[in-house]
Structure 1
Amino acid sequence: MSKNLSALQQALNRQQSAPAPVALATTSAPVAAGPADAAAPAYYKAPSRAGKVNITAYLSPDYKSNLRLIQARTGKSLQTIIAESLNDTFQKYDVPVIQGE
């Protein structure tokens, strides 16, 4: 076991002492950063997602099929259907229910 740990430590030490990778330019002309580039956020977030978070789960494909079936029958969005389902679960476990958007 200690042999594996020492080998791992040596590999980490080699990795830390290795030179940083060099990025290769794909164009021959230099790209100048304008004032808009300096003020731009690191990523774009749609205004409709402001104040919201993504909740993700890996489930059986049957869950998706059933959600789509409910969506087809009711005409509601997946977000609305999932929010209703979560509120039902919150009610079941006696935690505060979130009021609709």
Structure 2
Amino acid sequence: MESISIMDGLMLTIVSMLTVFSVLLVLWGLTEMIAKFVNGSDKAEPAPAAAKPAPAVNTNNLAPNKKHQQVAELVALALASEDEPNKKLEIQESKRIK
């Protein structure tokens, strides 16, 4: 059996970690690109330069957000179908309750 020196082990560790991080960066980049293609139509319009500064955010008076609404609907469907996983559920109306 061949013994590995400390320097060889260190070099192997560094190269392995760089390989793993580079693969993770490539996967991250791919998911970001795919997200931009999929959600390309949901872009927010840029604010005009002469717009007033935004007021302080009050959590009680937040404007409805389509993505938040979809997440809430999916969570509600998941919770409703927990007991009966084969049952088909359909959302007929989605209303925000304060």
TM-score normalised to structure 1 length: 0.25
Q: Which has the higher contact order (CA 8 A, sep 6+)?
A: 2
TM-score normalised to structure 2 length: 0.26
